[in-house]
Homo-oligomer: A and B are copies of this chain.
Amino acid sequence: MVRAGLDAESVVRAGAELADEIGFEQVTPSELARTLGVRTASLYSHVRNAHDLRTRIALLALEELADEASAAIAGRAGRDALGAFADAYRDYALRHPGRFAAARYRLDPETAAASAGPRHSRLTRAILRGYDLDEPRETHAVRLLGGFFTGYVELEGAGGFSHSSPGSQESWTEILDALDSLLRNWPAPS
């Protein structure tokens, strides 16, 4: 019998691949086993259960996303860094819709804390160093950016901006300009 030669990592990687093709929700042990050409039960040596499989795909996606964002902002600052970071995020989502959905899979608190999630906040903070915001404003700004990137890309992926003009790319650029301007002129607290 010829072995497929799988291990935990290759299984999760194949799961991520599959997610991009058929959607994260549709990634199940049985479906994944089918595409790998093995019996469903065989996956259980590499992954604890369906939830564990999804969790590992989520962790992989968070890591990849942080890596790409990190590379994108290296050597940049201000509006330049903001644009590069935002584009890294959006490009990843468009290129890997299933992985991006995975990145929003609900993790239990301990897993989330040990994930690349916190790295995302740190990267966002790094960008904000180019704008001098004091605390707590910097934290507000991190949350504004994180929320906006997440939500915009989700709505775009759901087709919310198709069939209407202007195109999504134009809105994206203009909104980044607007946010850049806001970060440079954050209003005084009321």
Known: A107-B158, A174-B189, A181-B187. 20 other contacts (CB 8 A): A104-B154, A104-B158, A139-B164, A140-B175, A140-B178, A143-B152, A143-B155, A143-B161, A143-B168, A144-B175, A144-B178, A146-B152, A148-B148, A148-B152, A149-B151, A150-B154, A151-B151, A151-B154, A178-B187, A179-B182
User: Which residues of chain B have C-beta atoms less than 8 A from A25's C-beta?
Assistant: 25
Size range of the chain A interface in the assembly: 35 or more
User: Which residues of chain B have C-beta atoms less than 8 A from A187's C-beta?
Assistant: 177-178, 181
26 A-B residue pairs with Cβ-Cβ distance under 8 Å, sorted by A, are A25-B25, A106-B158, A136-B171, A139-B171, A143-B152, A143-B171, A143-B175, A144-B148, A144-B178, A146-B151, A146-B152, A147-B147, A147-B155, A147-B175, A149-B151, A150-B151, A150-B155, A151-B152, A174-B189, A177-B187, A178-B187, A181-B182, A181-B185, A181-B187, A182-B182, A185-B185
User: Which residues of chain B have C-beta atoms less than 8 A from A166's C-beta?
Assistant: 136, 139-140
Task: Determine if B147 and A152 form an interchain contact, defined as CB atoms under 8 angstroms apart.
Answer: yes
- Asked if A186 CB lies within 8 Å of chain B CBs, one says yes
Q: How many copies of this chain are found per oligomer?
A: 2
User: Which residues of chain B have C-beta atoms less than 8 A from A170's C-beta?
Assistant: 136, 140
User: Which residues of chain B have C-beta atoms less than 8 A from A168's C-beta?
Assistant: 143
- Asked if A165 CB lies within 8 Å of chain B CBs, one says yes
Q: Measured between C-beta atoms, what is the minimum distance from A133 to chain B in Å?
A: 11
Q: Measured between C-beta atoms, what is the minimum distance from A77 to chain B in Å?
A: 17
Q: Measured between C-beta atoms, what is the minimum distance from A171 to chain B in Å?
A: 5
- Asked if A5 CB lies within 8 Å of chain B CBs, one says no
Task: Determine if A140 and B182 form an interchain contact, defined as CB atoms under 8 angstroms apart.
Answer: no
